[in-house]
Copies of this chain bind each other. A is one copy, B any other.
Amino acid sequence: MQKLGFLGLGIMGSAMARNLVDAGHDVTVWNRSSAKCDPLVKAGARQADTPAAVVSASDITFACVSDPEASSELCFGPDGVLEGMEKGKGYVDMSTIDLETSQIIEEAVIGEGGRYLEAPVSGSKTPAINGNLIILAAGERSLYEEALPAFDAMGKMSLYLGDVGSGAAMKLVVNMIMGTMMAAFTEGMSLAEKAGLSTQDLLAILDAGAISNPMFRVKGALMQDDEFSPAFPLKHAQKDIRLALLLGDLLGHGMPTTAAANEVFKRARSMGLDDNDFSAVFKASQS
């Protein structure tokens, strides 16, 4: 039986690790503040004292931390992933990190004889809990195939996208479409308001037609209640659109609609909406 490790038990990580345990996998966990390990240990996981110890005890180790700096620290820090890495072991970083960081980690892992996969996810807290994440894997294909049973426990879909960097790039494309679509939606919602139309009716009509989608349905209802608790914080949504535009820039690819949406999100940020849900761009469209 495969031995799995999981590093980083934040909102996302603890839900993902729990799904691994519940699916019957043999899982060793670690978190910087060890209290977060308790519920998982109760559910059947083992606990280790350092990232290195998790890697030593596991065939494949997964990680999910908050940003590129945390990913680097986890890998290169004292008692970090590299210290436990050895020939044949797999390391799967499911954090959202940039191409450069991902390549540096890949090189270091391979340097120790290991195998590496970046596997950022699409989906937030609720899909993480329900095992409904979408997993965007890129790097060593053999590792992807061995990790599939684990991915199946954490997500409803996993895709192997190619070389390291493809996972992160794909996530940017998805989030760029989603953000621009949200901007378009809020421009329509606010136009309806100003034209004296019922946004309730608009939502019903949208939901009955060819562009019916869960985001309009869920966020549209919340907008009407002026409810913008963050599922996906606006500042992160704007960052992803900006990074997608920069990717386009590198490739000499114009994206005028996306660029306009980015400016609306930036205006929303200057209105102090950074930590609201990204649907709060509605307030910028209204003003």
A interface with B by C-beta (< 8 Å): 122-123, 134, 136, 156-157, 159, 161-162, 166, 169-170, 173-174, 176-178, 180-181, 183-185, 187-188, 190-192, 194-198, 201-202, 204-206, 208-215, 218, 242, 244, 246-249, 251-264, 266-267, 269-270, 285, 287
Q: Is A170 within 8 A of B211, CB to CB?
A: no
Q: Is A254 within 8 A of B270, CB to CB?
A: yes
Q: Using Cβ atoms and an 8 Å threshold, which residues of chain B touch A247?
A: 191, 195
Distance between Cα atoms of A139 and B209 in the complex (Å): 23
Q: Is A161 within 8 A of B201, CB to CB?
A: yes
Residue from the list B188, B204, B214 in contact with A159, Cβ < 8 A: B204
Q: Which one of A173, A185, A214, A261 has the greatest number of beta carbons of chain B within 10 Å?
A: A173
Q: Using Cβ atoms and an 8 Å threshold, which residues of chain B touch A249?
A: 242, 266
Report copies per complex.
4
Chain B residue with the shortest CB-CB distance to A218: B210
- Top 9 closest pairs, chain A to chain B, by CB: A260-B260, A180-B184, A213-B213, A177-B188, A254-B267, A256-B263, A252-B270, A254-B266, A187-B255
Residue from the list B156, B178, B205, B255 in contact with A263, Cβ < 8 A: B255
Q: Within the complex, what minimum Cβ distance (angstroms) separates A237 from chain B? A: 12
Decide yes or no: A174 and B209 within 8 Å by CB, A180-B184, A252-B270, A259-B263 being known contacts: yes
Q: Within the complex, what minimum Cβ distance (angstroms) separates A259 from chain B? A: 4
Q: Within the complex, what minimum Cβ distance (angstroms) separates A249 from chain B? A: 6
Residue from the list B190, B204, B215, B248 in contact with A191, Cβ < 8 A: B248
Q: Is B256 within 8 A of A161, CB to CB?
A: no
Q: Is B170 within 8 A of A253, CB to CB?
A: no
Q: Using Cβ atoms and an 8 Å threshold, which residues of chain B touch A176?
A: 184, 187-188, 191
Q: Which one of A134, A192, A201, A210 has the greatest number of beta carbons of chain B within 10 Å?
A: A210
Distance between Cα atoms of A254 and B254 in the complex (Å): 14
Distance between Cα atoms of A80 and B82 in the complex (Å): 38
Q: Using Cβ atoms and an 8 Å threshold, which residues of chain B touch A180?
A: 180, 184, 187-188, 257
Residue from the list B170, B181, B187, B205 in contact with A174, Cβ < 8 A: B205
Distance between Cα atoms of A263 and B285 in the complex (Å): 11
Beyond contacts A177-B184, A254-B270: 14 other A-B pairs, Cβ-Cβ < 8 A, are: A159-B204, A170-B197, A173-B191, A177-B185, A181-B184, A183-B257, A184-B257, A191-B253, A194-B253, A211-B213, A252-B266, A255-B285, A257-B261, A259-B262
